[in-house]
Amino acid sequence: MASSAVETFTMDDTLDVEKSVVGQDERSQWVLNGPEPPTPWHELKDSVRKPFLHCGKQLSSLRNQPGPKLLVSILQGIFPILDWGRHYKATKFKNDLLAGLTIASLCIPQSIGYATLANLDPQYGLYTSFVPPLLYAVMGTSRDIAIGPVAVVSLLLSSMVKKLKDPAVDPVSYTKLVITATFFAGIFQAALGLFRLGFLVDFLSHAAIVGFVAGAAIVIGLQQLKGLLGLTHFTNKTDVVSVMKAVWESVHHPWNPRNCILGSSFLIFILITRFLGKWKKKLFWLPAIAPLLSVVLSTLAELNGPHVGEVAKIGLVVAVVALTESVAVGRSFASMKGYHLDGNKEMMSMGLMNIIGSFTSCYVATGSFSRTAVNVSAGCETLVSNIVMAITVLLSLQFFTKLLYYTPMAILASIILSALPGLIDLNEAYKIWKIDKLDFLACIGAFFGVLFASVEIGLLAAVIISFAKIILISIRPGTETLGKLPGTDMFCDIDQYPMAVKTPGVGIIRVKSALLCFANANFVRERIMSWVNQEEAEDLDTKGNARSTIQLVILDTSNLVNIDTSGIASLEELHKNLVSHGMELAIANPRWQVIHKLKVANFVRKIGGRIFLTVGEAVGFKSEC
């Protein structure tokens, strides 16, 4: 609607305007008599309609195709593998095979370790490295991402579900709750994708994730002390203080030095073999599938259990964290290789993968940062590397389930510990510190939150600090004094451009905010008044008596996107205050919404129509007087 109004206007007026030389008065009319901006209602309608329009366009382009071709197009939309699979060549497969085997060698020990971290039996980690990667391979749009369990999500699941059911007392119920949480995580991920709410993932800023992951790595490491040292008494809590206290208290309890040596030596062994290792494979399909299917019905039965509400909440938190990691990793490699990643489609795929995964006793899978990097450096071409990895995992499943029954905790602990140093990214933290101090605050907030309180508090701290930053900048905006840049018509911040020259008798000020609203309007008004008083006092001090008293205050509103009724009220008060000081107020370069609201509120008439297109013209007005 708004755009049609614009076009009519263009037809009528633009031609006339362009023909004649445009004077300043006419330009003021441009400012005052522009078309009406769209209402919030229109903007809301547009933003809701857009995704459906997009779908509609796709559908209408599909409708022109004949029947069988239509079916193929729809299937290709849902399963991208049908599209890229047709052009798949043997040369590509060679690369994918190599990459797949490489990430499998990394994935198998990590899956076992992360499952232990989530307080699950090791085979659940392997299930999670088998079913979800296969599902993602047929549905996902990334070409590089390596799917499977990851450390942070495992820790998050265990620390949250532990509160509902103690895994040491009732491991079966605990496992069921974890798998139910996985189901809910899948539901939430798919829903986020379906309703295009993917932006929620952005609420965890990059800086917060760096801090959170580093904190989680240390917490995970400390938890492994139990297995590594063979402690019998240990704490269920995850914060540093509780764990260190538990370790200290364990000195008086029996512990196992043999375990410690075993763990340490295995840790060293893994670190050497991890990038070389090709693991042995055996073929035991059927017995491996049996335990997977047996849990399906019991999982569904769990949905009517007493903890559904809490488990759904856990599912939501885990869904967002898992998506954050996987969207970030997918996006960064997609932009590196220059292809497009559909964020909402990605979330749908991840969601379906976890829903179906939960039916086959997998826990939450997502894109792993470390394995994806290895996948890319090993030269993967398509998601076939994930298929190769999944099959490798399946082949080793039966071998491991038997072997793992006898694996000492110390070895599992050392597997996990070997993966941790990569998670503490001091370089990135230093870079964040250098660029943005407040971002760094969110980073260390998340870090210490995880370390000294709990995983949820760490996440919450990061989100709160990040949003507090936005709110703080919105409610306490600075103001800047403008001066004319020599040789141009531009008026710029005199702090940023020290060569800019102030205009005598005129105070030009700009607010460093996109909004003038209830939360900052009074602050801005008071700040402008104190600035005016200060400027006057300076003039008196240095140059003798009132040499160049300010007669006109120009408010450059070029970066003010919107204003509300409190903002307008405060501008009116500013105007009254200035008049009582013998000054006048002028507005320069108001934006669409702002000029519209100022007109409706009658403010334009109240300040005597002193609204100008540029600061320069407002200054010119003063010299005319």
Kindly state whether residue 592 participates in binding a second copy, applying the rule CB under 8 A: yes
Residue of the chain from 273, 294, 559, 623 that contacts a second copy (CB under 8 A): 559
Q: For tokens 């890229």, what's the residue?
A: 84
Distance CA 260, CA 267 (A): 10
Pattern 341-380, a second copy, x by CB under 8 A: --x-------------------------------------
- Smaller CB separation from a second copy, 280 or 434: 434
Residue (of 352, 385, 194, 360) closest to 292 by Cα position: 360
Residue among 93, 531, 601, 622 that touches a second copy (CB under 8 A): 601
Q: How far is the CB of 49 from a second copy (least distance, A)?
A: 15
Our measurement of the distance from residue 621's CA atom to the centroid of its chain's CA atoms, rounded to an integer in Å, reads 48
Burial of 581 (C-beta count, 10 Å sphere; 0-12/13-18/19+): middle
Alpha-carbon gap, residue 22 to 24, rounded angstroms: 7
* Nearest CA among 621, 518, 613, 536 for reference residue 578: 536
Tell me which of 28, 32, 34, 166 binds a second copy, using CB under 8 A: 34
Binders of a second copy among residues 317 to 346 (CB under 8 A) are: 331-332, 335-336, 338, 343
Binding residues among 425-444 for a second copy as defined by CB under 8 A: 431-432, 434-439
- Asked if 264 is part of the footprint of a second copy (rule: CB under 8 A), the reply reads no
Out of 88, 93, 203, 284, point to the residue binding a second copy (CB under 8 A): 203
Q: In angstroms, give the least distance from the CB of 546 to a second copy.
A: 20
Please name the residue ranges forming H helices in 303-425: 308-337, 343-359, 369-377, 384-404, 409-419
Instruction: For residue 577, state whether it binds a second copy (rule: CB under 8 A).
Output: yes
Residue 476 in the binding site for a second copy (CB under 8 A): yes
- Work out which of 92, 519, 536, 606 binds a second copy, going by CB under 8 A: 519
Instruction: Report if residue 608 touches a second copy, rule: CB under 8 A.
Output: no
| Only segment of 91-99, 393-401, 406-414, 553-561 that touches a second copy (CB under 8 A) | 553-561
Number of residues located near a second copy, criterion CB under 8 A: 102
- The interface region with a second copy, picked from 277-285, 398-406, 413-421, 492-500 by CB under 8 A, is 492-500
Tokens encoding 235: 């704490």
Q: Does 208 bind a second copy (CB under 8 A)?
A: yes
Q: If we measure between CA atoms, which residue out of 347, 277, 322, 324 comes closest to residue 154?
A: 322
**DSSP codes of every residue in 296-308:** HHHHHHHTTSTTH
Query: Who's near 495: CB < 8 A, 6+ residues apart?
Result: 480, 481
By CB under 8 A, tell whether 29 contacts a second copy: no
Residue 37 within binding range of a second copy, rule CB under 8 A: yes
Question: Residue 483 pairs with which residues in a beta bridge?
Answer: 492
478 binds a second copy (CB under 8 A): yes
- In the complex with a second copy, which residue's Cβ is closer, 166 or 526? 526
Decide if residue 584 touches a second copy (CB under 8 A).
no
- Residue from the set 163, 512, 547, 605 that interacts with a second copy by CB under 8 A: 512
457 binds a second copy (CB under 8 A): no
Backbone torsions φ then ψ of 147, nearest 5 degrees? -95, 145
Asked if residue 32 binds a second copy (CB under 8 A), the reply is no
Place of tokens 């196992």: 256
Contact 111, 126 (CB under 8 A): yes
Single out the segment in contact with a second copy by CB under 8 A; choices: 175-183, 304-312, 389-397, 567-575: 567-575
Residue pair 249/272 in contact by the 8 Å Cβ criterion: no
Residue 181 · residue 315 · CB < 8 Å = yes
> In the window 46-105, what residues touch a second copy (CB under 8 A)?
47
Q: Which is nearer to a second copy, 39 or 298 (CB)?
A: 39
| Of 479, 478, 489, 477, the residue nearest 612 (C-alpha) | 489
Check binding of 555 to a second copy (CB under 8 A).
no
Member of 475, 531, 536, 551 binding a second copy (CB under 8 A):
475
Give the tokens for residue 425.
């990214």
Q: Are 205 and 442 in contact (CB under 8 A)?
A: yes
CA–centroid distance for 112 within its chain: 28
